[in-house]
Structure 1
Amino acid sequence: MVTLRQLQYMLAIVEEGSFTRAAQRLHISQPALSRQLQALERFCGGSLVEREARPLRLTALGQAIQPHVRAAVAEADRIRPAAARAVSGLGSELQLAALDSVSLGLLPPVLRAWHESHPAMEVRLTEHRRAEDLAAALGEGRADIAIGPVLDGWHGARRLIGVAEFVVVLPPGDTAAAHPAGVLPLAELADRAWVRLAPGSTLSAVLDDACAAAGFTPKSAVQTEQSAATPWLAASGLGPALVPAYLLPPHFTGHTVLPDPPVRQPLFAYTSAAPGPVVAGFVEVLVRHARVARGPDPDDPGAVSGR
């Protein structure tokens, strides 16, 4: 039967890249470390580490089980602080992972409402630029709830929060902003250079996909790492930007129009297949207080353009 110690030892070997250094870090002998890894390999049915490689690296089998190993170790590490909090009466802890734009635009009223009803519970929020990182945080046990767009291949539970509408941000007085009915064909901006997030982020991919649907590849005027800066840079006249409407702060000075074709992105709360009462309770608060429209059915492929 596999033990937690064996899983911890496997991770130490991979992180150190050497049996010798891993044994030193764990304060055990190298033969004892090797025996524990061999026992884990017997349980898994094959070699987990390429022993001839320098530094050591995982085999295909080792790579396949690594996310589950990390999740198990992370969950075990949370047992003692959870117990200590319960004994002391200080409450427990909730770990959230969200896209940085969601954190800025949707979570403040949600977290305020949650804190009012759970003042003793600590919330740890990690922010990510890519949806793939949300799935990794959940799968490795670093988050109880992930909040973001569609996660390909997620096999746990999910709850629709709403469907985010994207808008094009332009500076006041821009002639493109005067389009009838407040709807602007994206193709009319094909010659513009855009304000955008750096490549690799989920919101950057939304812009690329929307412009591709309109028949062009967007040029870049400014690239930023901070989603909160994007609408302000666009409002200053550096170029148009495509952002979720929930990201715009109150009293925003830029001009916004809806793109044609429309760009919409369903947002979900992702959890394990059987979330506990605390996680389920937070999801209810999230759905109730997040300021995002219910919007069209996200399962209708014609209604959703964003990822």
Structure 2
Amino acid sequence: MATPTLRQLEYLTTVVDTGSFTRAAEQLHVTQPALSHQIRALESAVGGPLLERLPRSVRLTPMGRAVLPHARAALAEAERLRLVARRTAGLEEGELEVAAIYSVSLGILPPVLRLWRHQHPGVRIRLREYPHADRLQDAMTAGRADLAVGPAPAGWEGPIRELGVEEFTIVLPADDPLADNPTATVALTDLADRAWVHYAPDNGLADLLDHACAQAGFHPQTAIRAEQTSAAPLLAAAGLGPALVPANIIPPQFDGLLLRPDPPIRRTLTAYTRTRPDPLTVAFADLLAQQARVNPAALSAAATLPDRTDVPARGQNRTPHARSSET
């Protein structure tokens, strides 16, 4: 049985993406008979039909649906190999694909990207954002990025770098009655009867909020669901309900009340790659870890949150909430 070629895999993904042999042939700058011949050769190589021709489109067969993710991963890996070869040859240009959950792209990544651009001006960064840690891990498994930044992946076989612990804060409007709390903390049970600024179901912070509230003994009522993580603190400050957000995404001079959950809610953030990352990917992971180490406030945003060192917090010896997957 012949081995599928990268060209055949490219032809397959292009037909699927365009939904048409005609449009795929135009995009690939080949004739339609030549494209059809290569698809048949690929089907012969894998041992079965991959595409079904419909009157005005094409659809994947069950075998095609199984093969397509591997085809995309193989093409992505081939592109990375090409870039690695160029870097090894001493070229000062290339492209690094970084995947992150939404809150990371709002919080810890921007200052790292700024420093990276200063150190490596010829290397382009392509940022891919995902609402949930599971989708982030799936994207890495499928070969869509060189490095991922988010909660620790389950069962990951490649290198994982722990960056630090991310703190969460409760956001309320500035005139909320809890603004008089001298400890600048709040127990989730004190908010059990309120309707929350929740997150869209596919946003991992929805899981985290539900999990934290469940540990506190209640299920959060929903006032509104935010699609974008960045919208949650703004909606909460506007009085639509309390929101649980990563402290490091709160903008400077934020016009809202910030309270520390008691007990604290935290999660560990990591950077992870596949088994054998190239030197450029390793360098970016090193920079992430270095910045998290020299500037831990980038994760906790400690300067943003109220200082509670002067007043003992309620339940300060209790075990912190477990984290969940997110964004």
1:292 matches 2:299? yes
Partner residue in 2 for 1:105: 107
- Residue number among 123, 126, 134 corresponding to 1:124 in the alignment: 126
Distance (Å, rounded) in 2 between the aligned partners of 1:120 and 1:146: 21
Distance (Å, rounded) in 2 between the aligned partners of 1:82 and 1:159: 21
Distance (Å, rounded) in 2 between the aligned partners of 1:232 and 1:279: 35
AA partner of residue 63 (structure 1): R
* 1:182 positional shift: 4.1
AA partner of residue 249 (structure 2): L
1:304 matches 2:326? no
1:117-155 CA deviation, whole Å, 9 max, x = no partner? 223322222333232442344344432111112444544
* 1:233 positional shift: 2.8
The 3 A distance-change label for structure 1 pair 72 and 134 is same
* 1:85 positional shift: 8.1
CA-atom RMSD in angstroms = 3.1
CA contact (8 A) 1:208 1:218 kept: yes
Identity %: 49
Q: How does 1:145-184 map to 2 (within 5 A)?
A: 145-152=147-154, 154-178=156-180, 181-184=183-186
CA contact (8 A) 1:96 1:124 kept: yes
* 1:29 positional shift: 4.4
1:178-199 CA deviation, whole Å, 9 max, x = no partner? 5574442212212212223333
* 1:172 positional shift: 3.0
CA contact (8 A) 1:177 1:184 kept: no
CA contact (8 A) 1:263 1:306 kept: no
Distance (Å, rounded) in 2 between the aligned partners of 1:45 and 1:304: 47
CA contact (8 A) 1:68 1:139 kept: no
CA contact (8 A) 1:67 1:139 kept: no
The 3 A distance-change label for structure 1 pair 53 and 180 is farther
Distance (Å, rounded) in 2 between the aligned partners of 1:69 and 1:152: 24
1:196 matches 2:198? yes
AA partner of residue 198 (structure 1): A
Q: How does 1:1-307 map to 2 (within 5 A)?
A: 1-51=3-53, 55-77=57-79, 89-152=91-154, 154-178=156-180, 181-290=183-292, 291-292=298-299, 304-307=322-325
Greater displacement, 253-262 / 267-276: 253-262
Distance (Å, rounded) in 2 between the aligned partners of 1:105 and 1:156: 25
Provide the TM-score with structure 2 as the length reference.
0.78
Distance (Å, rounded) in 1 between the aligned partners of 2:158 and 2:202: 25
Distance (Å, rounded) in 1 between the aligned partners of 2:57 and 2:121: 47
Runs (5+) with no aligned partner, structure 2: 293-297, 301-318
Provide the TM-score with structure 1 as the length reference.
0.82
Runs (5+) with no aligned partner, structure 1: 294-300
CA contact (8 A) 2:212 2:321 kept: no
SS at match of 1:221: strand
Distance (Å, rounded) in 2 between the aligned partners of 1:86 and 1:277: 9
The 3 A distance-change label for structure 1 pair 306 and 263 is farther
